[in-house]
Every structure is written in structure tokens, then in C-alpha cells.
């Protein structure tokens, strides 16, 4: 059977057509697969890019945002003013912070972190700004504030009210030593956040919402009486801690007062107590508080004084008694205990430590003083025989 040239040509053309169709189909399938792979890769890339962008955004936000203030960190803090200053400085990246409050007495209470004493005094003397409805005020200094050795002077600050206007005049400020720095709206927000958390604990710690202590006077001695003692001690503990000053308490008791009563009678013993009160008043500093706690027991609260200075006061009074009789013909001596305020103290424990020192002194013998640490300072009992001017001594 013979095949013609025409038939071969037709067959070849048909085969070529089929091959072309198969090639086109294969090419389309290949391109479709490549497109599918590309789409899948792009989608995965987009997902990873979105995850990376979110992670980066969260990291930046976490770096920029100040840490949240948990109210218990101030509500439960024994010294909320100090914690407030630390938070204010931390959240604004400032070099120092200051709080200034004037209570009912008009005497400013100043607390600072990161500032020297001379800087504190200079800034405190500037007083309170007139906010005139402003949320906060930025202040600038000419660079002439006295700076500690090796430090740049304070260049500027940001201040706003710390307490409610009805409570007291007040400010909370952050300060910078960086030349040319300006505090931002974010800094204002951060400082305002500190104030919102701190306002109630600080006002409560300062007792600004409590009525001022009204001193009650002991009728016999004209000293503050026992009812005033606890309130004054509590107030002065707060002031001492805010100012960073020491506080000491001297508790004194007349030895053998019962025997004195038996020999002199009630009026004679009262005369001894009245005269002793005058001697105490004549020896104290003008910042001290003197109390009669009952019977022959007296207390002297000494703001700004350490235990050694309270001991010196005791020695001064004893020397005065030795030099000038309290009452004619009687031997009088004093036992005493001294406590100096420590971090763990409240009003009760502070007074209790001075009382414990006094009790130990009375056990040790007349005319002795015991410091709150338990260290005994023994001196010869200085007693007076007023009629003859003779001083009796007993070791």
C-alpha cells in the first residue's frame, strides 16, 4: 500500500498541531504552578512582615511608655513622699525631683532626691508658682545655681501641684542638668500620672486632712500634757522623715517621788515638779517640745537632734539641779531614757524605746541614763540639799 506525499504532509501537519497544543498546555500548567508558588510565597512573606512589624511596634511602645504605677506601691509605702520623688524622676528621665508643701502652720515641708542641700534651699526659696489654670509650668534657670562638685548646674524644671488646693500649697517638680532640654507633653503626662497616684497617700501621710494638733497644757507645770504627746510625736516623725533630719526623745522621771510626797506633802512635791519644769524649759532649744506625762515623768521631743544631743540636755539639767537646789533640804535625782528615730519606728514604738531605756535606768540606779541601743551612760547621781547648798553623790 503506497502513501502519497499529500497524506504524509497532512499527517505531519496534524502531528505538529497536536505537539503545539500539548506544548501550550504544558506551558500554561507550568506558568500556573509558578504563579501559585509565587502567590504562596508572597502571602507567607506578607504574614512574616506583618508579624515582624507588630513585634517591632510593641517593642518600641514598651520602650517609650513609662511603667505603670501600681497604687499599692504608694498606698502601702511607709514613706510615700520619697517614693513619689523617685517615680517622678524615673518617669521623666530627670536628674532630680523636689516636693514642697506648706501646711496649716505655714512652715514649708521640703523633700528632694538628686539635689544638694544648697540647690534644695535655693529652689525652695522660690516658693510656689502661680499656675493661673495651667496644667504644669516649665521653669528655666540661668545656670547660676550652686552645683555639687563634678555636676552641671540645674538648667530647668517642670512643676505642677502635688496636692489639692484645698489641702495645702504644694508642688512636685522634676529638674534637669542637661543644657537645652525642654520637657515634653509626654513628660507632663508622666508627671501628672505620678501625682494622681501619689496625692492621696501623701496627703494622708502628712496628716493635712486632719485637724491641727491643739496642744493641751498641764495646769501644774504649764508644759504640754499627756494628751498632746502622741499627736505631736506622730507629726514630728513625718516631718523628720520628709526633711531627712534626726529626731530624738528624752524621757525623764524623778527618782523616789513617792518618798518625796511622803516627806513634803502634796504641795511640796508639786513645787518640786513645777521647778523641774522651769529648769527643763530653760535648757531646751526653741524647736523642742516639753511634756509632763504624769506624776514625775517628763518628756522632751527634739527635732533635728540625735541621741547624743538628748543626752547632753539631760546632763545640763542634772548639772543645773546640782548647782541650784530644786527644793530646800531634799535630795533630788533624775533617771532617763533616750531613743533616736529609726526607719522601723512609728510613734508608739519610738516612745516605747525611750520608755524602755528609762525603766532600765531606774533599775540600774538613781541618776542614770540609758540610750535606746542599750548602751548605759552612768553618772554619779546629782542630788541637791537646798538648805545647805551641799551636793550629795551616790555611784
Q: What is the mean pLDDT of residues 263-272?
A: 85
Given a cut of 80, whether residue 30 has pLDDT beyond it is no
How many residues in total does the chain contain?
A: 395
How confident is residue 84, by pLDDT bands cut at 50, 70 and 90?
confident
Domain positions in the chain are: 72-205, 226-394
Percent of the chain with pLDDT over 90: 25
CA 90, CA 68: separation in Å to the nearest integer? 12
Q: What's the predicted TM-score (pTM) here?
A: 0.50
Given a cut of 60, whether residue 382 has pLDDT beyond it is no
CA 177, CA 20: separation in Å to the nearest integer? 82
Backbone dihedral angles phi then psi of residue 111, each to the nearest 5 degrees: -140, 140
Lookup result for grid cell 512635791: 269
Rounded-to-10 torsion of CA 23, 28, 32, 38? 80
CA 192 to chain centroid: 18
Residue 212: the pLDDT is 47
The residue with greater pLDDT, 160 or 74, is: 160
Q: Decide: 139 and 156 in contact? Cβ < 8 Å.
A: yes
Q: Are strands 108-113 and 96-102 parallel, antiparallel or unpaired?
A: antiparallel
The residue with greater pLDDT, 132 or 258, is: 258
pLDDT digits (tens, 9 = 90+) for 218-259: 888 899 998 889 889 988 888 888 777 899 999 999 998 888
Given a cut of 90, whether residue 369 has pLDDT beyond it is yes
Of 240-249, 302-311, 313-322, where does mean pLDDT reach its minimum?
240-249
Residue 21: the pLDDT is 65
CA 171, CA 183: separation in Å to the nearest integer? 16
Of 107-111, 120-124, 387-391, where does mean pLDDT reach its minimum?
387-391
CA 15, CA 186: separation in Å to the nearest integer? 79
Q: Decide: 310 and 369 in contact? Cβ < 8 Å.
A: no
The number of beta carbons lying within 10 Å of the beta carbon of residue 132 is 6
How confident is residue 147, by pLDDT bands cut at 50, 70 and 90?
confident
Give the DSSP letter of residue 224. B
Lookup result for grid cell 510615700: 80
Nearest CA-CA partner of 121 in 101, 145, 103: 145
The residue with greater pLDDT, 168 or 352, is: 352
Q: Identical fold at 72-205 and 226-394? A: no
| Residues in contact with 141: Cβ distance below 8 Å, sequence separation at least 6, in sequence order | 153, 154, 155, 156, 157
Chain mean pLDDT for the chain:
78
CATH of 72-205, one of 3.30.450.40, 3.40.50.1220, 1.20.1260.10, 2.60.40.420: 3.30.450.40
Residue 253: the pLDDT is 94
Residue 309: the pLDDT is 94
Nearest CA-CA partner of 168 in 202, 214, 126: 202
Residue 215: the pLDDT is 60
Given a cut of 80, whether residue 31 has pLDDT beyond it is no
SS3 305: coil
Percent of the chain with pLDDT over 70: 74
CATH of 226-394, one of 2.60.40.3670, 3.30.70.270, 3.40.190.10, 3.40.50.720: 3.30.70.270
Q: Decide: 386 and 326 in contact? Cβ < 8 Å.
A: yes
Q: What is the mean pLDDT of residues 50-74?
A: 57
Q: What is the mean pLDDT of residues 290-307?
A: 93
Given a cut of 70, whether residue 46 has pLDDT beyond it is no
**Beta bridge partner(s), residue 100:** 110, 171
Nearest CA-CA partner of 253 in 382, 367, 394, 349: 367
Residue 381: the pLDDT is 35
Amino acid at each position: 500500500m503506497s502513501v502519497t506525499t499529500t497524506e504524509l504532509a497532512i499527517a505531519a501537519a496534524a502531528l505538529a498541531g497536536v505537539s503545539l497544543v500539548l506544548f501550550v498546555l504544558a506551558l500554561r500548567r507550568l506558568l500556573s504552578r509558578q504563579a501559585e508558588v509565587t502567590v504562596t510565597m508572597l502571602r507567607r512573606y506578607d504574614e512574616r512582615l506583618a508579624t515582624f512589624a507588630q513585634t517591632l511596634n510593641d517593642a518600641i511602645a514598651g520602650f517609650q511608655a513609662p511603667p505603670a504605677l501600681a497604687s499599692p506601691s504608694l498606698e502601702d509605702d511607709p514613706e510615700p513622699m520619697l517614693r513619689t520623688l523617685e517615680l517622678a524622676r524615673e518617669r521623666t528621665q530627670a536628674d532630680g525631683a523636689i516636693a514642697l508643701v506648706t501646711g496649716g502652720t505655714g512652715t514649708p515641708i521640703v523633700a528632694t532626691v538628686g539635689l544638694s542641700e544648697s540647690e534644695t534651699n535655693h529652689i525652695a526659696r522660690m516658693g510656689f508658682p502661680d499656675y493661673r489654670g495651667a496644667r504644669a509650668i516649665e521653669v528655666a534657670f540661668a545656670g547660676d545655681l550652686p552645683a555639687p562638685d563634678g555636676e552641671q548646674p540645674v538648667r530647668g524644671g517642670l512643676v505642677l501641684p502635688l496636692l489639692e488646693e484645698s489641702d495645702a500649697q504644694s508642688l512636685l517638680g522634676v529638674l534637669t542638668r542637661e543644657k537645652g532640654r525642654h520637657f515634653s507633653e509626654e513628660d507632663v503626662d508622666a508627671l501628672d500620672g505620678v501625682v494622681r497616684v501619689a496625692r492621696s497617700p501623701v496627703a494622708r501621710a502628712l496628716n493635712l486632712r486632719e485637724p491641727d494638733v491643739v496642744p493641751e497644757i498641764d495646769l501644774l507645770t504649764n508644759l504640754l500634757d499627756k494628751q498632746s504627746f502622741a499627736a505631736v510625736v506622730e507629726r514630728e516623725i513625718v516631718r523628720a522623715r520628709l526633711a531627712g533630719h534626726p529626731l530624738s526623745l528624752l524621757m525623764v522621771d524623778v527618782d523616789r517621788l513617792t518618798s518625796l510626797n511622803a516627806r513634803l506633802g502634796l504641795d511640796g512635791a508639786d513645787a518640786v515638779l513645777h521647778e523641774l519644769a522651769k529648769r527643763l524649759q530653760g535648757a531646751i532649744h526653741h524647736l523642742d517640745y516639753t511634756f509632763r506625762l504624769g506624776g514625775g515623768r517628763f518628756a522632751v521631743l527634739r527635732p533635728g537632734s540625735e541621741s547624743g544631743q538628748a543626752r547632753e540636755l539631760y546632763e545640763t539639767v542634772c548639772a543645773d539641779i546640782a548647782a541650784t537646789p530644786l527644793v530646800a533640804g531634799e535630795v533630788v535625782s533624775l533617771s532617763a531614757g533616750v531613743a533616736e528615730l529609726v526607719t522601723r519606728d512609728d510613734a508608739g514604738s519610738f516612745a516605747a524605746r525611750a520608755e524602755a531605756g528609762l525603766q532600765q535606768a531606774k533599775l540600774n540606779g538613781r541618776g542614770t541614763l540609758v540610750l535606746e541601743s542599750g548602751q548605759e551612760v552612768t553618772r554619779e547621781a546629782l542630788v541637791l540639799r537646798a538648805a545647805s547648798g551641799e551636793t550629795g553623790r551616790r555611784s
